[in-house]
Structures are given as C-alpha cells and as structure tokens.
Chains A and B, each alone.
Chain A
Amino acid sequence: MQPNQFNVDAANKLKIVSLVSVGKHPQSGRMRRADQDSRAVELGLKLTGDNHSGESLVVLHAGDPGEPNLRSYAGMGLKSVRVLQLDPAADAILPLGQHLQQCGADIVLTGVRAESGESSGMVPYQLAEKLGWPIVPRVADIVSVKGGVAEVLQALPRGQRRSVMVKLPFIASVDSAAPEARQSAFGPASRALMDIEVVSASVDDVRQAWEEAAARKRPKRLKVVKAKTAAERFKAATAKSQGDGGKVMKNESAAEQAQAIFDLLKEEGVLR
C-alpha cells in the first residue's frame, strides 16, 4: 500500500459505508471474502485514511452474523463489522436502505455483483432508487472529494478509464479493476467486534419459486454453414476469412496515404 496520497479536505468528516457479502471461490466453490467487496473495503480504507479505520468507515453486512468469512473483512484492519441480522431468505434492500439513511453515509461502496445468491448486481441500483442518490457503476478509483463533489474514475472495457464528477452522497459499485485488497490478518479478524443489530424484513417470495442447480456447461456455438449445394459447402470450408475487399491506395503520394489512414482513425474514434 502506498502512503496516503489521497486528496481529502474533510476525510475525517467523510462517512463511508462498504456493503459486503460472503463470496464463493469460482473454482473451488469455497466460501471466502468476495473479491469485489474486499476491493470496496480497500477503497473505503484508502478514502478514510488508515488512521481513521473503524471510525468513519463502516463495513456493513445484511444476513447471518455467525458467518465466519465475514471476519476476514475485519482482518483488513477494522475494529468491527456491523451486521444487520435477518433471515437468509429475506429481502435485504429495505433494512439496508433504512440503515444507510439513518447513519448518514456520504459514499456507499459495493461490489458489482455478488459471488453467491442471485448475483444480479441490483442491490446498488435499488438502494440508489430508494434513497434517490446517484449511482456510479464499475468504479476503479475515487480520485478526490472536494467541496461535496467527488471525482470518480470509472473502469471501461479495454482498460480505459472515464472520469465522472458526482455530488455526495452517492453509491458506487467497485469493479475488479480497482486496487487489489490487502491481505486479511487472522488475529485481528478473530478479535474484531461483530456489531449486531436485529432487523425484520419480509421474505423474498418470488425467489422461493426458483430452481437453482449447479451451472451447466453452455454449448459452444458452432459455425453453421447454410449452404445449399456441395460447391457452396466446399467454398465455405476452404475459403479464407477475408473482408469484402477494402480500399487500396497505390499511386498516391505518402502524404495523401497518411491522410487517408488518419481520417479513418479519427472516424473510428481511436484518436483521443
């Protein structure tokens, strides 16, 4: 971890809540701290500064407080983990929304999608809709918070980043492109306090009707040749994949040729 280079004018006044869930390793299937959620905690730790850990950063989980893997978030250097205790089959949105409203959070960080359960990634959106806050999806970093406005770096496909300005309070889902989470230490994890609050929530009836099974392997799409004659099939099997014959510039001067390339690059929008 680099020394705190984060640009904060009121870091100790900033209240950050990281929502965490219990993750599942994609290969072994073992329960673990979720990858994106731990990155959200890491980002929260960076925002509050390491000195304030446990005071302005709240790590919040809705579900079973007895889950041992919750403690591995605390092992990242937190004194406590707050848990809203509710039935595993219950809908967590309502109690979470109420809690966030009460505790006066400035920034709420979540993962993009959970590694267990429905994993629809809808929690941040539903919370944002309920609270009327803006949501910034797929955040790679929060660069600065100044005067109640945060500058956020969004992760785009192909390694690109987009800068977005957003007013506090807001909800951000943290992408896998965010800085990797620090290791979890076992000792502090087992000493951490589980701050339990029992809440009531309605049971998620819709989900009761669903059937869940281990993921089937998806069939790979075959290249189907819809040829009617043997000659067409033969051509499809042997022909090289070629474009439909592009423009060829042969006799122009180098300057004209370069201009044509440049125009195409600009048209495609790769020159920024």
Chain B
Amino acid sequence: MSAHNSQDLLRRDPRAEWIARNRLHPLHGSVVSADMGEVRGPTGLLRKNPHKVGFIGPNGIKRIDRLKGNAAGAGKGRRSSAAQDIQLPLHQVENPDFYVVVVPDMVGGRLTAHDKDVIGQAHKLITGAEGNGAVLAVCFGQSKEEHFDTAGVDRLLLLEDECYEGYRPEQRLAALVQVESAYKPQFWLFPDSVNGGSDLGSRLAARIGERPAVQAWLVDSDSTVCRGAGGTTDITRSTPRLLMLAEECADPIDETRHEALPVELDSVPAVIAQLQDRGQVAVDPNAISLAEAEFILSAGNGIHNWDQFHSAAAVLGATEGASRVAVDDGFMPRFRQVGATGTWVTARVYLAVGISGAIQHMQGIGQCDKVIAINTDAGCDMVKRAALSVIGDSEAILGELIKLAEDFRAQQSAGGDRDAA
C-alpha cells in the first residue's frame, strides 16, 4: 500500500521551488527551463509563467508581442502594409459541363455594381447545381473593364464590333440567339435595370419562348422569389431558365480570381434594324435633378468668378452643384447643395472646383465614380479622393477648359454630326 501511495503522492522539492522563485539565483534558468511544456497546478489548472512571456528588446526593456505573428511587414516601415497587393486564389474551370450566361449592362464600358451582383448570383447557381459550370459573360460594345477576373467571369465573349455600338437591341438579340444555340446555357441572367438589361432580357425571353422571372431577388437552383404587382407582392416559383435579377440579389465575388478566358462566336447574321438609333438628344442639364445627374460641375469656396462658372457649366453640358459654403454665401440656391445636408448625388463624373472636401460633402459624393478636383491646396481631402487633381488657380483653369470645350462644340457643329435637339 505504501508503494502504491508513493506513485500518487506529490513530492515537493522545496529547494527547487525556492530557486524557481528567486530569479537572481544562478541556477534559476536551469530550474525554470526544465519544465518548458504546459505546467499544471495542483488542481490541474493550466499555469502560465508571466515572466517567460516576451523577450528583452535591444535597449534592455522587455517587449511583449501580442500580434501573434500577424504583424505583416512590421519591420518595413509604416507605408508598406497599406500598399500590399494580395493575389487571390485562381478559380479554374476546364471543360465546363454547362454554362450560365450573364449579359451585363456595361454602363460606360465597365461592369456596374448590379452586374457584379448578377455574376455573384451566377456562381451561386453553379454551386447549387451538379457538375462544374462556368460563367460566360456576353459584353456588347467597347469595353473599358480591366477586372473581369476578380468580378468572377470564367469565360468572356466580347462583341465589340461596330454593329453593336449604340442602341442596337435587334442585332444584340441576334447575337444572344446565336449564343443560345452554341452554348445551350443552363441559365440566362440579366440585370433587371433601366440600362438595357431588362429590355434585352425581355426580347430574348419572347424570342426563345421562356417565361422569365423579373425582379428576382432570392434565387437558388430550385426556387425563385421575385417581386410582382409593381413590387408589392412576392411570387415564389420554380426557377426558370431566364432570370432578370433585382439589385443586390447576391453578393459579388470577392475572394477568388477567375480566368476570364476570351471565347469566340461564329459569325452573327446581320439584322435589318427596324429601330434606327438617332443618338441622344440634348437635354437642359439643369432641368435634370441633381440626384440623378450624370455629370456635375460643383462649386465651392474657391470660386470667385461666378459668371465664368455658370458659362463653364453651360458649355460643358454639366449640371451645377455647390458646396455648403457657396450656398450659405448666397451664390447658389439651396437645392443645388451637394452633401449630407443637401443632395446625395450619384454622378458618374463629378468635377469639384474649389471644394476642399468637408466630410459631409464627401459623404454626399460617395457614390460618384470619377471625381476630378481643381484646388489650390494639394493636401485637401478632395484631392485624396479624386482620380485626377489639378492644383492651381480655378479661374485660369476654368478659362482654359471653356476654350477647349468651345473648340470642341465648334468642331461638332462644323462636322454636322450633332443630333437635332
């Protein structure tokens, strides 16, 4: 019994404990490092030695690293961590079993946020189905998009011929019918937007005899929920082959990179167009509401010659906007104010003259694509936000810009290609 007990009994070594307590003892290191593994107390509780955490820094001060190995580039200075380009993992589809075709709007030659949502939905449909499918994007017109790969496009069909430029729904429809016969896609996805996606989708649905789901917002491979009755009811139905998807129907692709392999289409027959596009008609830019204007010329405190500003807006064909200061000083009416207290604008191009960019103003232009700043201060927030910043006197630059625009207009009217308003 005594032999049995001697195994269970915890024998303490008071001398070793005493050495372990005394960090100045010459044998302290050997006693402490003897038990490097996890140390359990008498009750079985995990004990950590606070004295062993960290290391002694170069100036003799103890340093504790709490980043747990996440301090990427800590030694390279402050800037390096910001400008890191992360290579996303490549998603490859070789010999796809089926295709999901997406026809993005490509407003201004680039994928819109709505287009990216639709591509995200296409990938959701592929994961829901059996076999490995590929997303085929069919893009009409000149494309300026550079990030098809990170948007989630596996195969890319660019139709950049002259015959697809402008409003050519019939020719585009003929190309889509060709895609239908060549690829036999499992799903056709269109953004349900006023930028042409809804029009093209409806045309294709009527041509190939599919009954589409429009304003679909909750889609999987079996069932679809779409809005009906002008957005007041939800219709739950089985997923059709052709879908026109509402905005924010799915999350865009952001964790993978895709191949975006270019593919070709056999010659599309030329269609005798019944609709003849005569181009856009000149609309009074100031009659368009600020919230939906496409091109805004906005004035701030840096404007001194207001007549020049108004004439610049007129000759550029821009809608006028203003910062809060310009409105408070009485140079512009209140309904022209851009920003958190004024109008939240959605312009594609926002030309800010003499606006340094208060945070309320920056919130108001949060949805703008391209911001151009004319300012005297190179360090202001607007310059940081802008795609192109010009540092200098606004009056001189606007004057030069008016000259250029007037020359352009003169050429246009001389060329005679200006559309009849």
Contact = CB atoms under 8 A, between A and B. Distances in A.
Asked if A and B are interacting partners, one says yes
B227 interface: yes
Interface stretch (A2-10, A182-190, A257-265): A257-265
B143 to A, nearest CB: 13
A102 interface: no
Given A215-B233, A250-B378, A254-B397, A134 B274 contact: yes
Contacts of B391: 248-250
Contact of A162 (B280, B349, B420): B280
B236 A211 contact: yes
Contacts of A264: 349, 370, 372, 387-388
Contacts of B198: 121, 137
17 contacts: A115-B230, A212-B228, A215-B234, A218-B217, A246-B387, A249-B388, A254-B400, A257-B397, A258-B397, A258-B401, A262-B405, A268-B349, A269-B108, A270-B349, A271-B408, A272-B280, A272-B317
A262 B401 contact: yes
Contacts of B275: 134, 136, 164-166
Given A128-B206, A160-B294, A262-B405, A240 B287 contact: no
A interface, size bucket: 35 or more
B205 interface: yes
Contacts of A126: 206
B404 A262 contact: yes
A270 B348 contact: yes
A209 interface: yes
A242 B382 CA distance: 9
Interface stretch (A54-62, A72-80, A150-158, A191-199): A150-158
A129 B229 contact: no
Given A24-B230, A243-B386, A228 B70 contact: yes
A34 to B, nearest CB: 8
Interface in A75-90: none
B348 A153 contact: no
Nearest to A157: B194
B230 A119 contact: yes
A243 B352 CA distance: 15
B167 A164 contact: yes
Interface stretch (B13-21, B57-65, B178-186, B207-215): B207-215
B404 A258 contact: yes
B230 A113 contact: yes
A254 B402 CA distance: 12
B230 A260 contact: no
Nearest to B420: A163
A246 B388 contact: yes
A1 interface: no
Contacts of B405: 262, 271
Given A170-B274, A240-B359, A261-B401, 20 more contacts: A119-B214, A125-B202, A125-B205, A137-B199, A138-B199, A158-B288, A159-B287, A162-B281, A164-B276, A214-B232, A215-B231, A215-B233, A221-B251, A226-B255, A241-B385, A248-B389, A254-B392, A262-B401, A262-B405, A270-B349
